[in-house]
């Protein structure tokens, strides 16, 4: 499950004495969206102070420090990145000085025109400190032309690709979503103030109440006079293309994304799976945690009883460092043990949310076989993902995606299982409560919602 990576998670609080501390707890709930670095920038109305660090929220930041800040406004960020650029310099929020003073920016998504913009800036004498495409945004912001504007419209119209953004200045907090709304961003109420969050589970964490999503193409400005909304681009450029993979895989089951309950959506996936690919079996189990919600849906729909087939060792965390590379399967075995009593001599249906490279899945199903499973029928609660994402999700390289290179039968044989089914694209799309054309499912279908030119295929944040 950890083989596919979201790029980031955002959380902002406006109008709370302990804003920075609440952002800390909010980021804890968004940790699954970024484990490599965490940062919080907050303001007292004059200066902006920023703490960042590598690793998990609990390693990178100290709640004591944040607690002592007493700043009423704060934004935070958790981040993944490719190996090369995993350094503290690229951690966010990015805080810089410019003519108007200080500004902090946090970004979830991926700009497809960052490389071109960067080259233009450099040709005109600008310097860059980081390899992150977010730095382009602050350069744009500091342009005299843009500075003269009261709002960010001119700046935001320069950006292409996917971007949910939080801006923090000593006076206001701004939340922005790109015209396609690729990545989620929700608005909530917290006492007399407001919160902005990638997922609603972070709102629950701090006691905030979900109001609505920030709309595609919308910028929400929050300051001492309250909240103000603005569409920064013409309506005809607004074309929703919500990432379906957030619902299928990334978001926490206790979040609402695009106004949709993740848990219920996944239960529907399971039910649809039962409808599409029924098989006679004695028991339904899930691969925890990814398959848990869909397995409930499958069991309810099929009438085949649900039981626990794997027991997870909760002490096996990220900090586990193995003595040898070639023993990576040790982690699989340490993390999950098969429950012989559930599977021995049984025909077992296993529900999971993805197969990436296939090696981890193979080890896991092998545990079931060793525990005596008579038949193993694997059901994946989405279609095979075969295509790269240019909007902020870091799949494995194409060569490593087993579904990109092998037929269903080949994968089944590789996994040594009796049967394997994926959910159909139509089946998956039928589970949403919204028009299916509002979604981007390009990783399954290659129907990219924006033109895919060369620049898009090789975006700038590589280094």
Binding-site residue positions for [4Fe-4S] cluster = 243, 389, 440, 443
Is there binding between residue 142 and its own copies (CB under 8 A)?
A: yes
Is there binding between residue 412 and its own copies (CB under 8 A)?
A: no
Among 2, 46, 83, 125, the residue binding its own copies under the rule CB under 8 A is: 125
Dihedral angle sign, alpha carbons of residues 35, 395, 251, 257: positive
Q: For its own copies, which stretch binds (CB under 8 A), given 272-280, 301-309, 417-425, 430-438?
A: 301-309
Q: Where are the alpha helices (DSSP H) in 150-281?
A: 153-156, 201-206, 244-245, 262-276
Secondary structure of residue 142 in the 3-state scheme: helix
The token pair that represents 127 in the structure block: 């310097």
Is there binding between residue 305 and its own copies (CB under 8 A)?
A: yes
CA 195 to each of CA 84, 211, 432: distance values in angstroms, whole numbers, following the listed order: 33, 10, 26
Binding-site positions read 243, 389, 440, 443
Is there binding between residue 17 and its own copies (CB under 8 A)?
A: no
Nearest approach, Cβ of residue 227 and its own copies (Å): 24
- 389-408 residues in contact with its own copies (CB under 8 A) are none
If the CB atoms of residues 195 and 401 are measured against its own copies, the closer one turns out to be 195
Nearest approach, Cβ of residue 207 and its own copies (Å): 9
Contact predicate 212/186, CB 8 Å: yes
Treating both helix axes as pointing N-terminal to C-terminal, what angle do 292-302 and 262-276 enclose, rounded to 10 degrees? 50
If the CB atoms of residues 8 and 442 are measured against its own copies, the closer one turns out to be 8
Nearest approach, Cβ of residue 234 and its own copies (Å): 26
Give the span between the Cα atoms of 261 and 346, in whole angstroms.
Answer: 33
Q: For its own copies, which stretch binds (CB under 8 A), given 127-135, 374-382, 416-424, 446-454?
A: 127-135
If the CB atoms of residues 310 and 391 are measured against its own copies, the closer one turns out to be 310
Strand 73-79: give its sheet, edge to edge. 48-54, 37-43, 73-79, 8-14, 193-197, 186-190, 209-213
Number of residues this chain uses to bind its own copies (CB under 8 A): 73
The token pair that represents 273 in the structure block: 């799976």
Of residues 161, 82, 178, the one with CA closest to residue 116: 161
**Per the residue annotation, which of 8, 16, 50, 201 is the catalytic one?**
8
Residues 217, 220, 221, CA angle at the centre, nearest 5°?
140
**DSSP per residue over 17-80, as a string?**
TTHHHHHHHHHHHTGGG--SEEEEEEESSS-EEEEEEESSHHHH--HHHHHTT--SEEEEEEE-
Among 233, 339, 404, 452, the residue binding its own copies under the rule CB under 8 A is: 339
- 69-88 residues in contact with its own copies (CB under 8 A) are 88
Among 13, 23, 57, 380, the residue binding its own copies under the rule CB under 8 A is: 57
Q: For its own copies, which stretch binds (CB under 8 A), given 135-143, 155-163, 219-227, 358-366?
A: 135-143
Is there binding between residue 67 and its own copies (CB under 8 A)?
A: yes
If the CB atoms of residues 164 and 205 are measured against its own copies, the closer one turns out to be 205
Is there binding between residue 409 and its own copies (CB under 8 A)?
A: no
Q: For its own copies, which stretch binds (CB under 8 A), given 168-176, 201-209, 379-387, 411-419?
A: 201-209
If the CB atoms of residues 177 and 263 are measured against its own copies, the closer one turns out to be 263
Nearest approach, Cβ of residue 67 and its own copies (Å): 5
CA distance from start to end of the chain: 25
Is there binding between residue 56 and its own copies (CB under 8 A)?
A: yes
CA 14 to each of CA 23, 37, 208: distance values in angstroms, whole numbers, following the listed order: 10, 23, 11
If the CB atoms of residues 218 and 260 are measured against its own copies, the closer one turns out to be 260
Among 64, 235, 236, 325, the residue binding its own copies under the rule CB under 8 A is: 64
Exposed / middle / buried, residue 424 (Cβ in 10 Å: 0-12, 13-18, 19+)? middle
Give the span between the Cα atoms of 145 and 131, in whole angstroms.
Answer: 25
Nearest approach, Cβ of residue 228 and its own copies (Å): 25
Among 16, 48, 61, 138, the residue binding its own copies under the rule CB under 8 A is: 138
Q: For its own copies, which stretch binds (CB under 8 A), given 136-144, 179-187, 237-245, 383-391?
A: 136-144
Give the span between the Cα atoms of 343 and 39, in whole angstroms.
Answer: 44
Asked, as a colleague might, if the bond just before 316 is cis with ω within 30 of 0, I would say no
Q: For its own copies, which stretch binds (CB under 8 A), given 128-136, 225-233, 397-405, 428-436?
A: 128-136
Half-sphere exposure of 346 (CA within 13 A, CB side): 22
- 430-449 residues in contact with its own copies (CB under 8 A) are none
Nearest approach, Cβ of residue 293 and its own copies (Å): 7
Give the span between the Cα atoms of 135 and 115, in whole angstroms.
Answer: 11
Among 97, 410, 426, 453, the residue binding its own copies under the rule CB under 8 A is: 97
Give the span between the Cα atoms of 441 and 446, in whole angstroms.
Answer: 7
What DSSP character marks residue 91?
Answer: -
- Mark whether 8 is an active-site residue: yes
- 249-278 residues in contact with its own copies (CB under 8 A) are 252-254, 261, 263-264
Active site residues: 8
């Amino acid at each position: 499950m950890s083989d596919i990576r979201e790029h980031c998670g955002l959380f902002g609080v406006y109008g709370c004495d302990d804003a920075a501390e609440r952002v800390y707890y909010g980021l804890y709930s968004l940790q699954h969206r970024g484990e490599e670095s965490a940062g919080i920038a907050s303001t007292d109305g004059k200066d902006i102070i920023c703490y960042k660090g590598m690793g998990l929220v609990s390693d990178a930041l100290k709640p004591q420090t944040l607690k002592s800040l007493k700043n009423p406004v704060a934004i935070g960020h958790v981040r993944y990145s490719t190996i090369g650029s995993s350094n503290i310099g690229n951690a966010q929020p990015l805080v810089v000085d410019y003519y108007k003073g200080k500004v902090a920016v946090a970004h979830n998504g991926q700009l497809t025109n960052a490389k071109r913009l960067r080259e233009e800036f450099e040709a005109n004498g600008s310097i860059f400190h980081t390899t992150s495409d977010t730095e382009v945004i602050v350069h744009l912001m500091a342009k005299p032309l843009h500075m003269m504007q009261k709002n960010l419209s001119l700046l935001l119209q320069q950006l292409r690709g996917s971007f949910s953004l939080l801006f923090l200045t000593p006076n206001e907090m701004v939340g922005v979503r790109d015209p396609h709304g690729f990545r989620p961003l929700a608005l909530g109420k917290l006492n007399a103030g407001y919160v902005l969050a990638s997922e609603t589970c972070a709102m629950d964490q701090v006691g905030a109440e979900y109001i609505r999503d920030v709309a595609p193409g919308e910028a929400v400005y929050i300051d001492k006079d309250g909240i103000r909304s603005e569409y920064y681009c013409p309506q005809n450029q607004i074309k929703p293309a919500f990432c379906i993979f957030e619902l299928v895989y990334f978001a926490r089951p206790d979040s609402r994304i695009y106004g949709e309950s993740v848990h219920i959506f996944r239960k529907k996936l399971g039910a649809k799976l039962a409808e599409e690919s029924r098989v006679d079996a004695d028991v339904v189990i899930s691969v925890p945690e990814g398959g848990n919600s869909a397995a409930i849906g499958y069991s309810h729909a099929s009438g085949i009883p649900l039981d626990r087939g794997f027991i997870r060792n909760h002490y096996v965390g990220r900090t586990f460092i193995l003595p040898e590379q070639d023993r990576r399967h040790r982690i699989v075995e340490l993390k999950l043990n098969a429950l012989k009593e559930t599977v021995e001599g049984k025909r077992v249906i296993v529900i999971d949310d993805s197969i990436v490279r296939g090696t981890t899945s193979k080890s896991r199903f092998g545990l079931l076989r060793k525990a005596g499973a008579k038949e193993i029928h694997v059901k994946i609660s989405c279609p095979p993902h075969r295509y790269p994402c240019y909007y902020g999700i870091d799949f494995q390289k194409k060569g490593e995606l087993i579904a990109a290179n092998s037929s269903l039968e080949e994968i089944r044989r590789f996994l040594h299982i009796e049967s394997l089914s994926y959910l159909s694209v139509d089946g998956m799309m039928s589970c949403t409560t919204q028009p299916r054309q509002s979604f981007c499912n390009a990783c399954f279908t290659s129907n990219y919602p924006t033109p895919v030119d060369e620049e898009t295929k090789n975006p700038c944040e590589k280094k």
